[in-house]
Amino acid sequence: MNRTIQRVILATVTLGVAGAAFAQVKPEDEIRYRQSVMNVIGRNFGGVLGAMAKGERPYDQATAVKAATLVDMLSGLPANSFGPGTEKGAPTKADPKIWKDQAKFKAAYDKMVAEVAKLPAAAKDPAALKAQVAETGKACKACHDDFRLKEFRS
């Protein structure tokens, strides 16, 4: 067997194994994953940065930068867990519109990611943090208004 054929076989097997690994994630696990990450984002954005911006919690630079960096690292993850077949499988507030208007969902989601990316730098200064929390919050809210239901559905 020559090396080219060996490589083709190896690539095919690798892709097959990777594909099978992705396919094995059950919809309920994908739903749990995106909800878990959103929960951690919400606790750090609202509970830490939002509270500092509103003056409900004293500003502390190290705490703010840490929370902002964490939110920035996590912001893109749930986007990959709204794939085909994850519309249902566990109680979810994800609006079925997500799967019908993927371009609109992606645009709203990407706007959030772009605003979150500005948080770590803004978190170094209380006034800048307050301004960027406001902009980021608008992007969170816009996507939730359009694509998150008020109640869980099964």
Q: With respect to ligand ASC, which residue has the nearer C-beta, 3 or 150?
A: 150
Question: Could you tell me which stretch among 27-35, 108-116, 118-126, 136-144 binds ligand ASC (CB under 6 A)?
Answer: 136-144
Distance CA 129, CA 111 (A): 18
Residues 30-59, one symbol each (x = binds ligand ASC by CB under 6 A, - = not), give: ------------x--xx---x---------
CB 68 within 8 A of CB 122: yes
Task: Check binding of 93 to ligand ASC (CB under 6 A).
Answer: no
Provide the β-strand partners of residue 9: none
Residues in contact with ligand ASC by CB under 6 A are 42, 45-46, 50, 137, 140-141, 144
